[in-house]
Amino acid sequence: GLENVSITVSPVINPDLNARVVAFRIARALEKGIPFRRVMMFMLRRVLESGALGCEIVISGKLRGERASYEKLRGGRVYKAGDVVDHILDRAVAHVLLKPGVYGVEVVIVKPAAQLPDRVVLKDIPSSEVEKIRQELGEAS
């Protein structure tokens, strides 16, 4: 076997911004019998208050009757397409077995420190440089 195996376990810095933790918290609440819409609203609000740019929660299964359906709740901005999506999204799925059947919980969180292509930041230019540019443009015309 292997010699001197060491495992390092570190706590999650902000569990409300980790999609896997949020998905399993929702699954645990559903197991306890808390209504799914209440759990969805509570967790969505909690994730957005933690600083996420957006969040989407989808619960699917036999929610109201014999026929399976899904409920989707979204807050903020959630990006679906593009090359940037792989870097800015945290996505997780959890399954929970209840009396009617298996429910699926999918959570997508847009990270707060994400560099988005549609966000433009303008730099401040000192007024002395603005005057210098105006003088150069005035001389050119």
Which residue ranges make up each domain of the chain? 15-116
What is the percent of the chain where pLDDT is above 70?
A: 99
Q: How many CA atoms lie within 13 A of 36 on its CB side?
A: 21
Distance CA 65, CA 74 (A): 23
Look up residue 119 and give its amino acid: R
Cβ pair 93, 70 in contact under 8 A: no
- pLDDT category at 130 given cuts 50, 70, 90 is confident
**pLDDT, mean of residues 26-34:** 95
What is the residue-averaged pLDDT of the chain? 90
CATH tag for 15-116 (out of 3.30.1140.32, 3.40.47.10, 3.90.1580.10, 3.40.50.970): 3.30.1140.32
Model pLDDT, residue 27: 96
Model pLDDT, residue 137: 85
- pLDDT category at 58 given cuts 50, 70, 90 is very high
Instruction: For residue range 36-53, list pLDDT tens digits in order.
Output: 999 999 999 999 999 999
Distance CA 123, CA 101 (A): 55
Asked if the model's pLDDT at residue 140 lies above 70, the reply is no
Asked if the model's pLDDT at residue 122 lies above 90, the reply is no
Which residue would you say has higher pLDDT here, 139 or 12? 12
Token pair for 55? 């969040």
Cβ pair 68, 60 in contact under 8 A: yes
Asked if the model's pLDDT at residue 115 lies above 80, the reply is no
Model pLDDT, residue 109: 96
